[in-house]
Amino acid sequence: ASATHPKFPPFSVFRKSLSFPHSVSQCQRKIAIFVSSKSSEAGELPTAEDEWLSRLPDKNKPLYSHSLPCIEAWLRSLGFYQSREDRAVWLIEKPDWHAQLSLDVTDLYIRYLKSGPGNLERDMERRFSYALSREDIENAILGGP
């Protein structure tokens, strides 16, 4: 096989193909135009959050059947907010307890924090399989420690 074989272009061609034709701001502008072209029945533009909440599978479906944007919208609807340091970590502050939720590769973890209100002697952690339904996970999490 020679370096000029028609099926395998020289390495320099591969390097050129890695350049990006549009800047991020141009891509964001296109996305904004696409999103703003939608309208709702009420005459207001739906938020991306509303869009993903409307796409949530049935609450009895296993969490693994949900897309990540749907899971994120669901967590926000429960009162969680995303950590700035780790995008897979979510926090919630209830009057009786504070918790940290982690979306791991195989499981969802909830850690009720001793540092929050209530009288926990130590952090308490629970693990939930993505095979459980969204409803079961929601009830277990919001039930507190």
DSSP 109: E
The Cα–Cα gap between 5 and 128 comes to 53
Helices (H) and strands (E) in the chain, counts: 5, 5
Residue 34: inside a domain: no
100 domain-assigned: yes
In terms of residue numbers, what domain contains 102?
39-142
The rounded radius of gyration (Å) of the Cα atoms in the chain is: 22
Domain annotation covers residue 26 = no
pLDDT tens-place values along the chain, 145 residues long: 444 445 544 443 443 333 334 433 333 333 333 333 333 444 555 687 788 999 889 999 999 999 999 999 999 999 999 999 999 999 999 999 999 999 999 999 999 999 999 889 999 999 999 999 999 999 999 999 9
Any domain includes 69:
yes
Record the pTM. 0.66
Domain for residue 115, yes or no? yes
**3-state class of 52 per DSSP?**
helix
Kindly state the helix (H) or strand (E) to which residue 16 belongs, with its residue range.
helix 11-17
Count of domains in the chain?
Answer: 1
For residue 16, tell me if it sits in a domain. no
